[in-house]
Amino acid sequence: MENKKTASKQSIKKIALCGVMIALGTVLSMFKVYEPPLGGGVTVMSMVPVAFISCVLGLKWGFGAAFAYSLIQLLISFGEVMSWGLSAGAVVATLILDYILAYTVLFVCGAFRKKGAIGIVAGVALGTFLRFVCHFLTGVYIFDIWLPEEWDNVWIYSLCYNGGYMLPELIITTVASVAIYGVIRKR
């Protein structure tokens, strides 16, 4: 009986931590250091709380939190996406690739968590790279209608556009995650 109570208390603590981290990530996502004209942006460490969940609680909890975070990001941006004048197929691709998959893949940030700081760096880099891939593919699909005249290749445009904000996000998230890992490890 005591083991069930202990397990139940641990689950409640994990759920509470996930809720707080998802809320923190959501609030941080609203503070953008740089926001390009067609969506995306460099935020103030908005991916760190989701990466933290995955690194501390593991991939299962990280997946649940990242999926919940993706749905919140989708709801926040839904009106904007609908105002872009996209075809039905482009809207579906954007909602799935640019939101649900792009944010859910952040659960992999904890994939190498047992390897210490190097594992945190590798996991966060992998999660952020996979998020970039989702945005890149969406860009290839939808940027064709907005491709500036000086660009003749939508693949390169999507690479440059999405890389322009995802590379700083990768650096910010990795540095912050390693710093937090260092503080937690010393405790």
Q: What is the pLDDT along the chain (187 residues), one digit of tens a residue?
A: 667 778 788 899 999 999 999 999 999 999 999 999 888 999 999 999 999 999 999 999 999 999 999 999 999 999 999 998 888 988 999 999 999 999 999 999 999 999 999 999 999 999 999 999 999 999 999 887 878 888 889 999 999 999 999 999 999 999 999 999 888 777 6
Name the helix (H) or strand (E) containing 43. strand 42-43
Cβ atoms of 135 and 102 closer than 8 Å: yes
User: What share of residues in the chain are helix, strand, coil (percent, to 5)?
Assistant: 80, 5, 15
Q: What is the pTM of this model?
A: 0.92
Token pair for 108: 């992999």
Provide φ and ψ at 138, rounded to 5°: -60, -45
User: Which pLDDT does position 50 carry in this prediction?
Assistant: 96
pLDDT of the residue at 181: 85
The reported pLDDT for the residue numbered 67 is: 98
Residue 163 buriedness (CB in 10 A; 0-12 / 13-18 / 19+): middle
Q: Strand, coil or helix: what is 144? A: helix
Q: Please, what sign has the CA dihedral across residues 27, 33, 35, 41?
A: negative
Whether 1 and 135 have beta carbons less than 8 Å apart is answered as no
